[in-house]
Chain A
Amino acid sequence: MGIASLDLYSQAIVLFAALALFTSFIMLAQARMMPLIFTFAWQGLLLAVVTVLVALVSNHPHLYISAALTFALKVVVIPWLLYRLSVRLGMQYDAEAIAHPTLLLLGGVALVIFSYHVAQSIVHLSGLATRNTIAVSIAIELLGMLLMCARKSAVAQVIGFMSMESGIFFAAVVSTYGMPLIVELGVAFDILVASILFGVFFFHLRDSFGSLDVGQFNRLSEANQSMPLREAAGEPSAGDPA
């Protein structure tokens, strides 16, 4: 019973899973752009480490490939792309105002409890050593969704989306020792393409709205008119997202 009866590798899996969950919470609380991207990279690193440990414990060599893929994509390529994008958009020192930071964190805690409740039925069916971490993977997914809901900045929303994908990948690793390799390769490729597409979108968004704040997007009808800037300056309260 309990964690003390597991061997040291399984304990390390549990520990790193908990740390990955913690990075999700840090992302929720982090208002500045650069640390947000770095925290996302840390989460990727933790997930890669967990995958390697699961591969060690369960003797599934194909998980090493997934770990390498995770490392390459989520620790190197995507954070680097996002970093370069935010430097080119001149927003690497931006901080967005989070509306209710403590309430948001408590909402995150509620999501963890909910995912524990949801995972209970799966945990009873599974016989794997890592079955307790299924709830954590669902929680990472839901926290990514919460990040997308709560943040206004498009970059933060992209990070929330990627974090959701991390959660799904993690769920696959700990509940069934990974998806078939072809699926994982496909998903990884999708993620890569998505991150490049998001980059293109960022530039379009900035050209159309002058900002990456999705709260500004309800000005869509005004943006299509001939002189959006003059109108916005004429009635400043009209486009107020609040």
Chain B
Amino acid sequence: MDSQLTAWALAAAQALLFIAAAPLLAGWLQRVKCHMQNRAAPTVWQPYRNLSKLLRKRMLLAQNASWLFRAVPYIVFGAMLLAAAVVPLIAVRLPSAAIADMIVLVGFFALARFFTALAGLDIGTAFGGMGASREMMVSALAEPAMLMAVFTLSMTASTTNLSVATGYILEAGLVLRPSFLFALLALAMVAVAESSRVPVDNPATHLELTMLHEAMILEYGGRHLALIEWASQIKLMIYAVLIVDFFFPWGIATGFGAKALAVGVMAVAAKLMLLAVLLVVWETVLAKMRLFRVPQFLGFSFMLSLLAMLTHVVLETGG
């Protein structure tokens, strides 16, 4: 009973740590990117400052905004919070992993995206509708690729539970699985598209015509905008942690001892920092592609995840 209580407390602490650390990851990303591009870099705490500034600001709502427009930031943030509670950050075998499996996780993302698109349409401005339609196009192509990559992993681990799958990969040790390599590439491409990073979307753009994700939330301000931005930072972090968990799980805590947890925190922090550096290099060497090239990009990612599934069936099973 007591150990169960500790486990739940740990799970709650992990989820809180997850959402608290998400702006830090965004800040680190921003800082490395500035260094990479020879610009003066803000501190890593800058996203926290932005969020607290936005939270303190007065709310301004459009006159024809319905209840949906006001509810969407909370729905989006809630979905991301639930998703963050499921992903093992510093320890596996936490009880919160039983809330949802990988497929429901994809469902959480879809829920958040659906409501963001509705909010974009709600006000009736041209940019909102344009952004909604673009976001839906990208996500309709990205989702099958993501699901297929996730299926590959769950076929290997014979489970769709994230925590159990991570534990399985951890126990198997170093196995050179081609399917994991392809799934990693596919998942990375989907992550880039879904968290609106450079080749698909530019998160720092101020040009409305080229916006995908930003165009939908143009009408938001104050704490609504803070929640939405925080949610998108959490989303980026979820993708990063998913990649780390599936492909480089070494170091994550399997027990609930203080030492194991400390090692888990250090390991995941180091891995996320490294992954962010890779993402920055990728964003720096690539230019944003035209919107109509995006289906090809995501089609390639779907092909990769399909290939991952095939190599799993052809090469990795069987006598």
Contacts from A to B (Cβ < 8 Å): 1-4, 8, 11-12, 14-15, 17-19, 21-22, 25, 29, 101-102, 105-106, 108-109, 112-113, 116, 123, 132-133, 135-136
Contact = CB atoms under 8 A, between A and B. Distances in A.
Main secondary structure of the interface of B (DSSP, over half): helix
Nearest to B303: A105
A18 B300 contact: no
Contact of B176 (A1, A8, A102, A105): A8
B295 to A, nearest CB: 7
A20 B280 CA distance: 28
Given A22-B182, A136-B314, A11 B303 contact: no
B299 interface: yes
Interface string B137-173: 0000000000000000000000000000000000010
A109 B306 contact: yes
A106 B311 contact: no
B296 A17 contact: no
A14 B176 contact: yes
A3 B295 contact: no
A101 B294 CA distance: 13
Contact of B299 (A12, A15, A21, A105): A105
A136 B318 CA distance: 14
Contacts of A12: 176
Nearest to B174: A8
Contacts of B314: 112, 116, 132, 135-136
Given A1-B319, A18-B311, 10 more contacts: A2-B316, A4-B172, A4-B175, A17-B315, A22-B182, A105-B299, A105-B303, A106-B306, A116-B314, A133-B315
B310 A109 contact: yes
A60 to B, nearest CB: 21
Contact of A15 (B172, B178, B303): B178
Contact of A14 (B182, B296, B315): B315
B177 interface: yes
Contacts of A116: 310, 313-314
Contacts of B182: 18, 22
Interface of B: 172, 175-179, 181-182, 295-296, 299-300, 303, 306-307, 310-311, 313-319
5 contacts: A1-B319, A3-B315, A17-B178, A102-B295, A132-B314
Contacts of A108: 303
A21 B300 contact: no
Nearest to B295: A102
Interface centre among A4, A8, A123 (most CB of B within 10 A): A4
A112 B315 contact: no
Nearest to B178: A18
Contact of B181 (A8, A18, A29): A18
Contacts of B178: 14-15, 17-19
Contacts of B310: 109, 112-113, 116
Nearest to B179: A18
Contact of A21 (B175, B177, B311): B311
Nearest to B141: A102
Given A3-B315, A105-B300, A132-B314, A22 B307 contact: yes
Interface centre among A12, A17, A105, A108 (most CB of B within 10 A): A105
